[in-house]
């Protein structure tokens, strides 16, 4: 059986994404201060094999090489994050040397004909701000707006697209509730305060950037999921899916697009005091209009509250779970153990268009999508990663189907350009289009990277034999 060739709309944007702490290295160079990830990685057992991002892919010193690689791969855009700790080591005071690094990066991208897509925050809060309460403190939201203003002052004459936050769900729930990401806190009430202050920081930054540059393109990137009941006829499972959808999706979408938190989620978490941190006028700030929505999609899941013993695991760190568990459905899984569910992307995009972005007239970009698999290089270091290639192809076909359904999707960023430091997994999980030999820092495009470069160049998917 053959999958048909598919063309994408003219002007569809093809790119790849990275994050500062995962690739830059140079953790103690150029006046950079410590981030929460530098500190978290020193906690025994926090990160696989006590790894850290101190060297990572050494992108700080290999920027020109990496941009040449992007050009060879036909990337039209590069989504990267700025290290707040590099540009404001204490979260407050500008560091000219750190800011200059990103100015050079932007110049080199533009010289190569690659659009810089800037993300201001991808989880690496300056430790000095965490010492004052981190995202559980309102002050951090205010500091974030000042940081956004600083970076716009430095780069705004050349950068036209700004993302405020990457995946605030991860920052809040994995960092402050589950404790498996920096800063490693296990305080559900603090996690909900962090949700609100992250969103408030987003709104304050949007307001500041809009004041400085009314023509800039502003947005936020959310990691969104498709939460299904394991048994749609079982009331407990339907409610389990509601809870996950509420705390993973609607808790972020509703305040941004509707200026309110979902009532059912507020009821679920009422005992944790989230209402106490919301001040009059905050939701007006949070719902300041954006120009684009970035969507990160990796997988969906099925959920149950059925106590009967069967293969299941606790749901992602909900702060009001009531026995919610995730149930495997027999789908293929990636190296992270995540189910491969491309049809979920189509359902998610259609829902977003119907309930959120369509009525607001806001286009969507897929700002991350990808998969980790156990890469096996040959003697020359080349990885023939057909499973990853198929993952990209299947998800791009699902995206194309959503376009046919009328969803306004304007571009796609593969995660990730390079193998990199994968947070708590250290260097054991590889997502890259390009293999990085961490001993030599040699970059070698994988089969998936070469395939993706052809897709980007042709703006189309070629026919594929599913039996191959």
Q: DSSP letter string over 186-253?
A: --HHHHHHHHHHHHHHHHHHHHHHHHH-TTSEEEEEEE---EEESSTT-HHHHHHHHHHHIIIIIHHH
Q: Are 298 and 152 in contact (CB under 8 A)?
A: no
Count of C-beta atoms within a 10 Å radius of residue 376: 8
355 as an active site residue: the answer is no
**292-296 and 364-368 strand pairing:** parallel
Catalytic hit among 130, 339, 368, 394: 368
CA 437 – CA 450 distance, rounded (Å) = 18
> 117 is written with which tokens?
């897509």
**Residue 47 to residues 42, 182, 425, Cα–Cα distance (Å):** 8, 10, 6
153 tagged catalytic: no
How many other CB atoms are found less than 10 A from the CB of residue 59?
24
The Cα-based distances of 134 to 126, 171, 198, 224, 331 in angstroms read: 9, 11, 10, 24, 38
Nearest to 329 by CA among 304, 366, 347, 346: 304
Q: Which of 24, 34, 130, 167 is catalytic?
A: 167
The catalytic residue positions are 167, 368
């Amino acid at each position: 059986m053959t999958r048909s060739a598919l063309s994408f709309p003219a002007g569809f944007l093809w790119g790849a994404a990275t994050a500062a702490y995962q690739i830059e290295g140079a953790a103690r160079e150029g006046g950079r201060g410590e981030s929460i990830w530098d500190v978290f990685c020193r906690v025994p057992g926090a990160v696989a094999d006590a790894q850290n991002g101190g060297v990572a892919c050494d992108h700080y010193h290999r920027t020109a090489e990496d941009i040449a690689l992007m050009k060879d791969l036909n990337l039209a855009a590069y989504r990267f994050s700025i290290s707040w700790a590099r540009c404001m080591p204490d979260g407050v005071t500008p560091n000219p040397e750190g800011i200059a690094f990103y100015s050079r990066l932007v110049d080199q991208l533009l010289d190569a004909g690659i659009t810089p897509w800037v993300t201001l925050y991808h989880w690496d809060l300056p430790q000095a701000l965490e010492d004052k309460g981190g995202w559980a403190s309102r002050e951090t939201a205010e500091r974030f707006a000042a940081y956004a203003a600083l970076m716009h002052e430095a780069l705004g004459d050349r950068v036209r697209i700004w993302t405020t936050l990457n995946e605030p769900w991860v920052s809040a729930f994995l960092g402050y509730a589950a404790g498996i990401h920096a800063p490693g806190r296990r305080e559900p009430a603090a996690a909900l305060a962090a949700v609100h202050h992250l969103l408030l920081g987003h709104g304050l930054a949007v307001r500041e950037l809009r004041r400085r540059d009314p023509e800039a393109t502003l947005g936020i990137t959310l990691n969104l999921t498709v939460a299904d009941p394991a048994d749609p006829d079982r009331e407990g499972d339907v409610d389990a899916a509601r809870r996950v959808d509420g705390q993973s999706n609607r808790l972020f979408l509703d305040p941004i697009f509707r200026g309110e938190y979902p009532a059912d989620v507020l009821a679920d978490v009422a005992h944790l005091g989230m209402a106490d941190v919301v001040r009059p006028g905050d939701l007006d700030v949070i719902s300041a209009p954006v120009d684009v929505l970035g969507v990160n999609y990796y997988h969906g899941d099925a959920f149950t509250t059925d106590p009967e013993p069967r293969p299941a695991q606790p749901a992602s760190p909900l702060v009001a779970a009531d026995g919610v568990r995730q149930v495997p459905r027999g789908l293929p899984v990636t190296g992270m153990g995540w189910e491969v569910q491309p049809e979920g992307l189509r359902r998610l995009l259609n829902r977003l268009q119907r309930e959120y972005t369509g009525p607001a007239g806001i286009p969507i970009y897929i700002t991350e999508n990808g998969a980790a698999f156990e890469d096996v290089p040959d003697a020359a270091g080349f990885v023939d990663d057909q499973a990853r290639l198929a993952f990209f192809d299947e998800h791009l076909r699902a995206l194309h189907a959503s376009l046919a359904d009328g969803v306004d999707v304007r571009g796609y960023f593969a995660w990730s350009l390079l193998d990199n430091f994968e947070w708590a997994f250290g260097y054991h999980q590889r997502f890259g289009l390009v293999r990085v030999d961490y001993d030599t820092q040699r970059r070698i495009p994988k089969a998936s990277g070469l395939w993706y470069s052809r897709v980007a160049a042709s703006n189309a998917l070629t026919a594929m034999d599913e039996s191959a």
